[in-house]
Amino acid sequence: MARWEPGAYERLRAAALTLFDEQGFEGTTVAQIAERAGLNRRTFFHHFADKREVVFAGQEESEAFIAAEIAAQPAMVDPLHAAVAALQRAAVTMYEKYRGGAELLGRVIAASPELQERELVKRAALAARIAAALRERGTGEPAAVVAAWTAAAVFFAARNRWNQAGNERTLAELMGETLELFLDATLHRAE
Amino acid sequence: MARWEPGAYERLRAAALTLFDEQGFEGTTVAQIAERAGLNRRTFFHHFADKREVVFAGQEESEAFIAAEIAAQPAMVDPLHAAVAALQRAAVTMYEKYRGGAELLGRVIAASPELQERELVKRAALAARIAAALRERGTGEPAAVVAAWTAAAVFFAARNRWNQAGNERTLAELMGETLELFLDATLHRAE
C-alpha cells in the first residue's frame, strides 16, 4: 500500500538530500532515508534504483528532451549554438523549478568523491547523446563530439554558478552568458 | 634485487596490456602480470600503485608539461588555441613514441567499463589543470573552464582516431585538424 503513497518521491528525495548533507553521502543508508521520510525501503526502491539515483534522477528523460530540442533547431543554427539552445530549453522547462534545492544538491555533490565521479559519467553520457543528435542533424565527426563536450562544459559551468548561495539569475541566462564569454575569449571578439 | 632489474617498467607494462587484451582488465591479477613479465609482485608495486596505473601511467608528468607549455604560449594566442598547442607539444614530445602500443591500449580501455570510468576522471583532471593554466595566463571564468574542456575534447577525439588500426597520421596533426573542423562547424567558416 505504502508504495503508492502520494508525494512519496518528493519526500524521499528531500529526506535523502538532507541526510546526505548532514552526515555525508557515503555514511547514509537507504533505511535511514526511508525512515526519515516516514516510508519503507520497498517504497524507496520503487522510486530509485539506489541512493545515487536520488542525486541524478531524471537524466534519461532530460537527455531525450535535449535530443528532441536539438532536432527542432533551425538548420542555419551551428551545432554548438543548437546544443546550448537545447540545454537552455531543458533549463527553462525542467531544471529551473529545482532552484530551491540546487544549493543543497551542489553542496552534497561537492562533498562526495563518489558522486563527483558519478557526475563525470553523467556528463559523458550527456555529451554522447548531444553528439548523436548533432550527427543526426548533419554535423560530421569529430566536430559533433567536440561541440557536444563544449556544450556540456557550458552547462556545467553555468550550473556551478547557478547553485551558488545568493545567485538570483536563471540557469538559461547563465548558460547564454557562459557561451558568449567562451566565444569572446576564443575568437578575440571582445578586443 | 629484482626490483631494480633493467627494463622492468616496460616489461611489466607490455605484459599487463597483453594480459588485459587476452583475458580482460577485470580478470587479470597483479600476480599474473608479474609472472608473465618474469618478475615479482614487489617489483610491480615499485613501478605502479595498482593495475589501473599501468594504463594511465605518466599523467601527472604530462599535465605538468602541458601547463608549462600553456604558460609559454605567446600572449596573442587565444586560450583554446593555446591549450591545443600545448597538447600538441605533449603529443610530439611524449605520446607519439607510444604509437606502436596505442591500438592495443585503445582496445583494452574500450573493453573495460572500469577503465572507461577511470579515463573520465583523468579527462576531468586534465581539464582542471588546463583551466588553471589558462587562468594564470589571464583568461577569466567561466571561459577558462569551457576552453579547457573543449581542448580536452579535441585531444580525446584525435586520440580515438590516432589509435585506430591503419592510422598513419600523427596525433598532433589529428588534433590540429579536429580543432579546425570544430571551429569551421561552429563558426560556419567552411560555408
Residue A1 lies in a domain: no
Q: Are residues B105 and B143 in the same domain?
A: yes
Nearest to A91 by CA among A174, A178, A31: A174
Query: Is residue A102 pLDDT above 90, yes or no?
Result: no
Kindly indicate the confidence band of residue B189, based on its pLDDT and cuts at 50, 70 and 90. low
Same domain, A41 and A113: no
The CA distances from residue A138 to A150, B175, B185, B188, in Å, are 18, 21, 10, 13
Q: Does residue B166 lie in a domain region?
A: yes
pLDDT over 70 at B4, yes or no: no
Is A145's CB within 8 Å of B124's CB? no
Looking at CA atoms only, how far is residue B1 from chain A in angstroms? 38
Residue B3 belongs to a domain: no
Q: Please check whether residue B2 lies inside any domain of the structure.
A: no
Q: How far is B46 from chain A (nearest CA, A)?
A: 27
Q: What dihedral do alpha carbons B153, B154, B156, B159 form, nearest 10°?
A: 170
Which set of grid coordinates corresponds to residue A155? 552547462
Comparing CB atoms, the residue among B81, B121, B145 nearest residue A120 is: B121
Residue of A nearest to B158 (CA): A142
A155-187 pLDDT, tens digit each: 999 999 999 888 999 999 999 999 999 999 998
The 3 state secondary structure assigned to chain A is CHHHCCCHHHHHHHHHHHHHHHHCCCCCCHHHHHHHHCCCHHHHHHHCCCCHHHHHCCHHHHHHHHHHHHHHCCCCCCHHHHHHHHHHHHHHHHHHHHHHHHHHHHHHHHCCHHHHHHHHHHHHHHHHHHHHHHHHCCCCCCHHHHHHHHHHHHHHHHHHHHCCCCCCCCHHHHHHHHHHHHHHHHHCCCC
Residue B38, domain member (yes or no): yes
Most A-contacting residue of B182, B183, B187 (CB-CB within 10 A), to test interface = B182
Q: pLDDT of A40-58, one tens digit each?
A: 999 999 999 999 999 887 8
What CATH number does residue B180 fall under? 1.10.357.10
**pLDDT tens digits, residue range B21-49?**
999 999 999 999 999 999 999 999 999 99
Q: For residue A53, what are the contacts with CB-CB under 8 A and spacing of at least 6?
A: none
Contact of B80 with B150, CB cutoff 8 Å: yes
CA–CA min distance A150, chain B (Å): 5
What's the pLDDT tens digit per position in B135-188?
999 999 999 999 999 999 999 999 999 998 889 999 999 999 999 999 999 987
Do residues B102 and B136 share a domain? yes
B110 lies within 8 A of chain A by CB:
no
Distance (Å) from the alpha carbon of A88 to chain B's nearest alpha carbon: 16
pLDDT at res. A15: 94
B191 has pLDDT over 70: no
Q: Which residues of B touch A158 (CB under 8 A)?
A: 142
Name chain B contacts of A143, Cβ cutoff 8 Å.
181-182, 184-186
Please state, in angstroms and rounded to a whole number, the distance separating the CA atoms of residues A42 and B12. Answer: 48
Chain A CA closest to residue B84: A186
Measured torsion, CA atoms of residues A170, A172, A174, A179, in degrees rounded to the nearest 10: -170
Q: Do B124 and A124 touch (CB under 8 A)?
A: no
Average pLDDT over residues A17-24: 94
Does A116 share its domain with A136? yes
Asked, for residue B121, whether it belongs to a domain, the answer is yes
Range of the domain at A47: 8-54
Are residues A77 and A143 both part of a single domain? Answer: yes
Q: Of B121, B148, B154, which is closest to A146 when you measure between CB atoms?
A: B154
Tell me, what's the pLDDT at B190?
47
- The CA distance from B60 to B63, in Å, is 5
Domain match, A71 and A16 both = no
Q: Is residue A99 located within the same domain as residue A15?
A: no
Structural domain includes residue A2: no
Residue of A79, A158, A186 lying closest to B79 (CB–CB): A186
Residue B41 lies in a domain: yes
Per-residue model confidence as pLDDT tens digits over B60-99: 889 999 999 999 999 999 999 999 999 999 999 998 888 8
pLDDT computed for residue A2 by the predictor: 47
Would the pLDDT of B2 be above 80?
no
Q: How far apart are CA A149 and CA B157, in angstroms?
A: 10
Residue B132 shares a structural domain with residue B50: no
Do B120 and B149 meet the contact criterion of CB atoms below 8 Å apart? no
The CATH code of the domain that includes A47 is 1.10.10.60
Q: Is a pLDDT exceeding 80 seen at residue B1?
A: no
Report the domain count for chain A. Answer: 2
A104 and chain B in contact, CB less than 8 A? no
Q: Are A20 and A91 contained in the same domain?
A: no
Mean pLDDT for the stretch of residues A90-119: 90
Confidence of residue A1 (pLDDT cuts 50, 70, 90): very low
Long-range (24+ apart) CB contacts under 8 A made by B186-189 are B186/A78, B186/A79, B186/A80, B186/A81, B186/A143, B186/A147, B187/A78, B187/A187, B188/A78
Residues A149, B152: contact at Cβ < 8 Å? Answer: yes
Nine-digit cell string for A79? 551545432
Residues B37, B84 within the same domain: no
Q: Nearest CA of chain A to the CA of B100: how many Å?
A: 23
Q: Which residues of A touch B120 (CB under 8 A)?
A: 117, 120-121, 123-124
Tell whether B177 and B118 lie within a shared domain. yes
End-to-end CA distance of chain A: 65
Is the pTM here over 0.80, yes or no? yes
| A190 band by pLDDT with thresholds 50, 70 and 90 | very low
Whether B73 and B129 share a structural domain: yes
The one-letter amino acid code at B22 reads: E
pLDDT in tens, B106-120: 899 999 999 999 999
